[in-house]
Amino acid sequence: MKLTMYQVDAFAERVFEGNPAAVCPLEYWLDDTLLQAIAEENNLSETAFFVPAGEAFELRWFTPAEEVDLCGHATLATAHVIYTHLGYSKPALQFLTRSGVLTVTQQEHGLCMDFPAAMPVATGGPSALLAGLGGAPKTVLAAFDYVVVYDSEEDVRALTPDFVQLETLGLRGVVATAPGQEVDFVSRCFFPKLRVNEDPVTGSAHCELAPYWSQLLGRKALTARQLSKRGGSVACVIKGERVLLSGKGVDYMVAEINIA
């Protein structure tokens, strides 16, 4: 069996920026064990697989460790592949996922994803969280991640997490955030439980970050920057109980997987 695989840098303006995702178009679903093995072999934060489903596409995302419920950058990468390489010409794509129907539309300056919003709520800071971050942040919140708020961009840049401590937490991961100097807010995202110690750019984290900062700043449209080594930018718009996340995809590689 031979499978075509695309590697796309998502939320990027150029190659080697943003978050790399692998995308594998399939005619039908393969065994989950094989899908997980491909993701582990790729050793990227996400590998996306999709199959046609009428007028839509079924879409699934795998880290090197397990399948996940929601992934932004691999959704953007998948939409990029369908529009750029597979001849899709309709203005909107619909993906059927574990998180419901996700719509992606083409815009003048990239792709816009319609995702569910998740407002984080105040919570106590578990000892492993505080130990793993090296001290108490200004505020600790929780949605599907712990969202820890700091006073400044410099505070977030300076974090040197203890990933062994953070791996023991009950939620998916830890998202550190603060007001930005040149954007509305910045973040860093840590997911050691998923074997992704620091994710370069995390679309799904902005489903919880954008509602928080929108409420705090009193604006629906926000600009964000993730402060990983690669870095990447995400434009966010709150729309009721949904959040629109926009960015670009850049081709890095087209490859062929050989499965004996």
Q: Where are the beta strands (DSSP E) in 11-123?
A: 19-25, 47-53, 56-62, 67-68, 92-97, 100-107, 110-116, 121-122
Taking CA atoms, 148 is separated from 153, 156, 158, in Å, by 13, 10, 14
Is 46 a known active-site residue? yes
Record the tokens describing residue 149, joined without a space: 């708020």
- Please give the full DSSP string across 24-49, using - where no structure is assigned: EE-SSPPPHHHHHHHHHHHTSS-EEE
Strand bridging mode 139-142 / 121-122: antiparallel
Q: Are 146 and 132 in contact (CB under 8 A)?
A: no
The pair phi, psi for residue 23, each rounded to 5°, is -130, 125
Record the tokens describing residue 24, joined without a space: 């594998």
Active-site position among 27, 41, 46, 58: 46
**Active-site amino acid positions:** 46
